[in-house]
Amino acid sequence: MHLIQELDRESGKKRLPTVNVGDTVKVHYLIREGEKERVQLFIGTVLRIQGRGINKNITVRRIVQGEGVERIFPLHNPRVQDIEVSRRGVIRRSRLYYLRDRVGKKTRVKERLGEKVRRERELEKAMRAQAEAEAAAPTQEETVEAS
C-alpha cells in the first residue's frame, strides 16, 4: 500500500491548481499535429471531479457551434500544461449534469465573489510568480559552468 502511494507521489505533478465543480477554467492542453506540437486552450465549466491522487480527473464542458462538447482531463497528465481558473462558481452539487439539458444563457453558473475569492486569486498569482522566478533562476550547474 505504501509503495503505491510513494509511486503516485513521485510520478504526479508537484502542484495542482485548486479547481472546484462549477468553476470556469482554461485548460492548456498540448496537442500533436503531425510532427509539430502546440498548446490548445479548452475553455469551459467543470462538471465533475473524479478520482484522487494520480488518477484525479476533471470533466470540462463547453458549447461549440451550438453543440455541447465534454472532455475529460487527467490532472497529472504531462500533456495538461496548465489549468487557469477564470471564474469561481457558486453551486450546491458535486455533479452538474443538469447543464447538459440547458441551452444558451441558462447554462451559466453564478459567480462566487468576495474576500475569500480575492485571497485565492492573490495566492494563485503569488504561486505563479514564484514558479516563474524558480524557472528563470539559473541552476547550480549553470553557475558553475559560467565561472
Domain boundaries along the sequence of the chain: 2-110
Q: Cβ(84)–Cβ(26) under 8 Å? A: yes
| pLDDT tens sequence across 56-111 | 999 999 999 888 999 999 999 989 999 999 888 888 999 999 999 988 888 888 88
Q: Cβ(70)–Cβ(59) under 8 Å? A: yes
Does CATH number 1.10.10.10 belong to domain 2-110? no
| pLDDT tens sequence across 36-49 | 999 999 999 999 99
Q: Determine the average pLDDT of the residues in 128-147.
A: 73
Of 147, 116, 103, 110, whose CA–CA distance to 18 is shortest? Answer: 116
Residue 31, pLDDT score: 94
The number of beta carbons lying within 10 Å of the beta carbon of residue 47 is: 21
State the chain's mean pLDDT as an integer: 86
Residue 50, pLDDT score: 95
> pTM above the 0.75 mark?
no
Q: Cβ(99)–Cβ(45) under 8 Å? A: yes
